[in-house]
Amino acid sequence: MKKALTFLVLLSILVNCQRNVEPEIRFQKPAHFPEPHYDFSYNPVTTAGFQLGKKLFFDGILSRDGSISCGSCHIPSSAFTQHGHDLSHGIDDKLTLRNALPIMNLAWQKEFFWDGGVFHLDLFAIAPIEADNEMDETITNVLEKLRRHPQYPQLFQKAFGTPEITLDRFLKALSQFQLMAISANSKYDQYKKGLTQLDAQELAGLQIFQQKCASCHKGELFTDNTYRNNGLPIRRFMLNGIDTIDTGRNRITLNEQDKFRFKVPTLRNVEVTRPYMHDGRFRTLEQVLEHYSQGVQDSPTLDPLLKQNGQLGIPLSQDEKDKLIAFLKTLTDEEFLRNKLFQQE
């Protein structure tokens, strides 16, 4: 009996120790990244907040019939995109307007969606929850379901001190999970830190990239966070029975000059975020480069950088394209893509 007790005490100490050993989850800016845009003073990342956010992220309870979670369209191993779909699929297999954007390095993003319609990460999740072709649920009802859930009130208590489930806390927890999705350890990053070398092909690709791509895909985040018309041919398509033309940023500003402008996406992990463009029309990086060199269409809102000296597009030889693709693949961050922290349990 005594032995058993001692054993139990020892075991519990062991378990407790192990718990203590687990590193606390905190946001840390990668040294070579600029200051984040997200104001963490409102919502500091904690282990409990992150874990709650993670559970919510992968829980179908956010959707009307329990079938769709955030993770359905944002799969961690594809840099949180919906691998293989051009337009992402939501509830009842309904099509959405666009291709799901990756979730990574969101702390450095000022606006969200391809059109920038949401201007704070904390406000983001309401949109997919309430969209009738995504999760088709009301935010009010989601909170009600969570309040009645056997585990969530406790998890909210752990994360925020009391079991109260409010919209603010719900959204903050989701943000905490997403904010931790930081990709900053690709081969390119290691090269920047002097930890590895790029091969000749990749280096040549980097040089071409800096000359021909980096004015939009700028800096360590590989985007300047602007909206641009990159000359894609305009597509008319049926979206769940409605004849649709996606005018991009124009839907948010209602400004003619913003017609067909879309957010410049980051290129980190671009190798695994196919298909490409707001409507996922290109399946490969080769097709993307083909578009920039041969396929750019003129229109009143075409980005001036794609029409320099009266010439449409960006001139690229086959050799340059190969080198560019070799470089783009150095942006793949295996550590990020395989990180257990983000995988559904």
The interaxial angle of helices 318-329 and 200-212, nearest 10 deg, is: 100
Residues that bind other proteins (CB under 8 A): 42, 110-111, 113, 116-120, 122-123, 126-127, 129-131, 138-140, 142-143, 166-168, 171-172, 247, 249-256, 258-259
**Pair 181, 21: CB distance under 8 Å:** no
Residue 43 Cβ vs other proteins, minimum distance, rounded to whole Å? 8
Residue 191 Cβ vs other proteins, minimum distance, rounded to whole Å? 33
CA distance 109 to 205: 26
Largest CA distance in the chain: 89
Residue 306 Cβ vs other proteins, minimum distance, rounded to whole Å? 20
Nearer to other proteins, 87 or 252 (CB): 252
**Gyration radius of the chain's alpha carbons:** 22
CA distance 82 to 265: 15
Q: What is the DSSP string of 271-305?
A: GGS-SBSTT--B-SHHHHHHIIIIIPPP-TTB-GG
Nearer to other proteins, 128 or 205 (CB): 128
Nearer to other proteins, 1 or 254 (CB): 254
Residue 300 Cβ vs other proteins, minimum distance, rounded to whole Å? 14
CB-based contacts of 82-89 (< 8 A; 24+ apart in sequence): 83/272, 83/274, 84/274, 84/275, 85/275, 85/280, 86/275, 86/279, 86/280, 86/281, 87/239, 87/279, 87/280
Residue 2 Cβ vs other proteins, minimum distance, rounded to whole Å? 53
Residue 259 Cβ vs other proteins, minimum distance, rounded to whole Å? 8
Residue 117 Cβ vs other proteins, minimum distance, rounded to whole Å? 4
Nearer to other proteins, 102 or 248 (CB): 248
Nearer to other proteins, 250 or 332 (CB): 250
Nearer to other proteins, 111 or 202 (CB): 111
Nearest by Cα to 219 from 184, 179, 181, 263: 184
**Pair 213, 285: CB distance under 8 Å:** no
Nearer to other proteins, 66 or 117 (CB): 117
Neighbours of 129 (CB within 10 A): 22
Spell out the alpha helix ranges (H) of 180-317.
187-192, 200-212, 250-253, 285-290
